[in-house]
Structure 1
């Protein structure tokens, strides 16, 4: 059990990076409470629908510990929620969280579905060109939840572990397969056996299997 450190929501807005304007919802703002529905937090939205949004990606989580790691590595203070996450908490690293894990969050119930697929906007938003590459290399991507039970979430809500359905694929291991071990077909097949895995990941992993022959 842990208490979330903050609750953030935000709609897409125009950002100016390197002199160019892009639509992004990475600039989320803290709120005291929000209704969590099957699609998202009320007041939340996404711009890059290929990477974010939808029922399998209703809640974005980024581990609190990574902020100090990136700040040290790049010699620049990175402060949450600069990765565009909705929530964070200590003690919930990618290596410790498994696909299908279920939690109570405030009045809602949520389930881990996939690692986050980071896009270039995290580098642009933090003005660190190498950040995206390092996030992929380390697997420190954060992750997404689907909503099993809708309900209110508050800025100081507890996130309480309820159930683990499998012990083979943590978010970190799944990330390593998805990003770095794309020809480990046996591991891909085993990962695909997890019913709770996000549909988008299933489709993309099935495409990789088609290359086996």
Structure 2
């Protein structure tokens, strides 16, 4: 059975080499947290143009991907290192698809999209080439909307319910970052899923230009 291995929250911290602050530095917390449609109460989200919002209220990363990265980087990677809110063990991260649901007690999350690495992530990792490396690895984790909120604590069992419609994995979506011409058939398949609203708008516009 899958397990909620860690709940991770951040407070505002300066971005290395910048004046702006970030909430990407997340660390495991003990005790109960409250999850709302906007995410975990008290968790720092600084750049709300690119982060947060109801369609990426919670970011998941997976223990199997952490194990892979530890072999690649040869370093300790504690939960929250990648800025995720929930670290989940017992689910293959690369196979997670848009529309999949994760149920933890009364909290229900639905996957909406992959994570696109940014310069802030690279600065946190201390690697100017990190965004490219993370992208090439194809292990993006998953952004989720909150279908049902509630109280939660680490150690809860997690029920992973795969989406019954078109299966568009987060790894597939990540591979298309920066691709100018996406196969219209793929666009139509993706639009049949409960995709992140910004990505949905982008894909709808792409299809409309082809008509």
Contact 1:174 1:191 in 2 (8 A): no
Contact 2:60 2:84 in 1 (8 A): yes
Q: How far does the alpha carbon of each residue in 1:92-129 deviate from its partner, in whole angstroms, 9 at most, with x for none?
A: 23432121112211321111111112211111101022
What runs of 5+ residues in structure 2 fail to find an aligned partner? none
What runs of 5+ residues in structure 1 fail to find an aligned partner? none
- Match of residue 10 from structure 2: 10
SS in 2 for 1:161: strand
- Match of residue 164 from structure 1: 163
Offset at residue 211 of structure 1 (A):
5.3
Q: Does the alignment pair 1:49 with 2:48? A: yes
Offset at residue 144 of structure 1 (A):
1.1
Moved over 6 A (4+): none
Q: Does the alignment pair 1:25 with 2:23? A: yes
2:181 and 2:187 map into 1 onto residues whose CA distance is 8
Q: Structure 1 residues 168, 210: closer, same or farther in 2, change over 3 A?
A: same
Contact 1:9 1:44 in 2 (8 A): yes
Offset at residue 42 of structure 1 (A):
0.9
**TM-score (structure 1 length as normaliser):** 0.87
Q: How far does the alpha carbon of each residue in 1:181-203 deviate from its partner, in whole angstroms, 9 at most, with x for none?
A: 74322212221122x11101112
Q: Structure 1 residues 181, 61: closer, same or farther in 2, change over 3 A?
A: farther
1:133 and 1:85 map into 2 onto residues whose CA distance is 19
- How many residues align? The count is 210
Could you say what the CA RMSD is over the residues aligned between the two structures, in angstroms?
2.2
